[in-house]
Amino acid sequence: MSEISHRIVRSAGGLEMRIAEAGSGPLVLLLHGFPESWYSWRHQLTALADAGYHAVAPDQRGYGATGGPDEIDSYSILHLAGDALGLIPALGADRAVVVGHDWGAPVAWHTALLRPDLVRGVVGLSVPPLPRGKRRPTDSMRQLLGDAYYMLYFQQSGPAETELARDLPTTFRKLLAGRARLGGPGLPLVPEDGGFLDLFDAPTDLPEWLTEQDIAFYSTEFGAHGFARPLNWYRNLDRNWELTAAWHDARIEPPALLIAGERDLVVANPAAMEALAEVHRHVPRFQDVLWLPETGHWTQQERPKEVNEALIQFIQGL
């Protein structure tokens, strides 16, 4: 089995990013979500390397040893996609397959939208490609989902990062393995006078795919670097909408795949399913949705074997 190594690489945009990497060959970029790090791809790095690829998982802007500025407006989708695209020449490659999970998925979709010449193929895990809407995202959320929707709770600087950092092992046990308490029509709504973590029951036992060592790793990472910068990604939702006006109704041209868990509330909901029904309109080379049974939101960690096989098959078919 290939070994994972780490180093600091300066992206073409100037940000010095910690990367985890394994193998050699065509480049595959693996972009993590919230609140994670390169570590969420630990199973894919070695599998892709053994299959003949140079697999690279960075700590993205604001995370882990990469860090980043404190200013909220430095975390727009143009910054995030620029960081990922800037790694391609920095790693000596002409093009890459870009894979993203959770928040990493919108970054991956935008790399393919903005620079299709650099992206051989794109894979999203959990989050489908969503076209730019006609209204500011937070306005739409308030109208459709109410003020208690968790992404709106994340908009205010201070409360969310303080809550998440209070007891790190409990935070990650709840987020990664807890059962969600949904309000309204199956929505993650922050209770009045409560916080985001009140949406989850703490598990009595960890699932097979998650260990105490995994919890300890995430706790150490976020204990050192905090949650404020990662939460700034959410605080740019409206700014992203403004900045991407030039790409309204633009198409994502590279070949594309979505991998999702059947129990993942992010994608297994009416709004996401409606978007998927129209996906070929704005992603003409969209190949398929691979639905993973008995799988929740933490796709590549919960089902590494199936995800590895799907990624390798997709890349070999390009």
pLDDT of the chain, 318 residues: tens digit per residue: 889 999 999 999 899 999 999 999 999 999 999 999 999 999 999 999 999 999 999 999 999 999 999 999 999 999 999 999 999 999 999 999 999 999 999 999 999 999 999 999 999 999 999 999 999 999 999 998 899 999 999 999 999 999 999 999 999 999 999 988 877 666 789 998 899 999 999 999 999 999 999 999 999 999 999 999 999 999 999 999 999 999 999 999 999 999 999 999 899 878 788 889 999 999 999 999 999 999 999 999 999 999 999 999 999 999
Which one is catalytic: 83, 102, 214, 264?
102
Residues found in the chain: 318
- What residues contact residue 237 under an 8 Å CB cut-off, 6+ apart? 136, 137, 138, 151
Q: What is the distance, to the nearest Å, from the Cα of residue 291 to the centroid of all Cα atoms in its chain? A: 17
Q: CA torsion 245→251→255→258, rounded to 10°?
A: 60
The span from the CA of 63 to the CA of 83, in Å, is 13
The phi, psi pair for 251, rounded to 5°, reads -100, 145
**101 among known catalytic residues:** no
Residue 188 C-alpha from the chain's centroid: 18
> Left, alpha or beta for 300 (phi > 0: left; psi -120 to 50: alpha)?
alpha
pTM (two decimals)? 0.97
From the number of C-beta atoms within 10 Å of its C-beta (0-12, 13-18, 19+), residue 56 rates as: buried
Predicted confidence at residue 185, as pLDDT, reads 65
pLDDT in tens, 247-272: 999 999 999 999 999 999 899 878 78
- Residues 6 or more apart in contact with residue 220 via CB below 8 angstroms: none
pLDDT for the residue numbered 187: 79
Look up residue 220 and give its two tokens. 């150490």
Q: What backbone phi and psi angles, to 5 degrees, belong to 230?
A: -60, -35
Phi and psi torsions of 52, nearest 5°: 105, 25
Mean pLDDT of the chain: 96
Gap between the Cα atoms of 65 and 220, Å rounded: 12
User: Which residue reads 């939702």 in tokens?
Assistant: 237
The per-residue pLDDT for 269 is 79
pLDDT tens track for 88-118? 999 999 999 999 999 999 999 999 999 999 9
Closest CA to 153 of 200, 186, 189: 189
Q: Is 102 a catalytic residue?
A: yes
Q: What is the DSSP string of the chain?
A: -PPPEEEEEE-TTS-EEEEEEE--SSEEEEE--TT--GGGGHHHHHHHHHTT-EEEEEPPTTSTTT---S-GGGGSHHHHHHHHHHHHHHTT-S-EEEEEETTHHHHHHHHHHH-TTTEEEEEEESS------SS-HHHHHHHHH-TTBHHHHTTSTTHHHHHHHSSHHHHHHHHHHPEE--BTTTB-BPPTT--GGGGEEPPSS--TT--HHHHHHHHHHHHHH-SHHHHHTGGGHHHHHHHTGGGTT----S-EEEEEETT-TTTSSHHHHHHHHTHHHH-TTEEEEEEETT--S-HHHH-HHHHHHHHHHHHHT-
Q: Which residue ranges form the domains of the chain, and what is each CATH number?
A: 5-316 (3.40.50.1820)
pLDDT of residue 184: 65
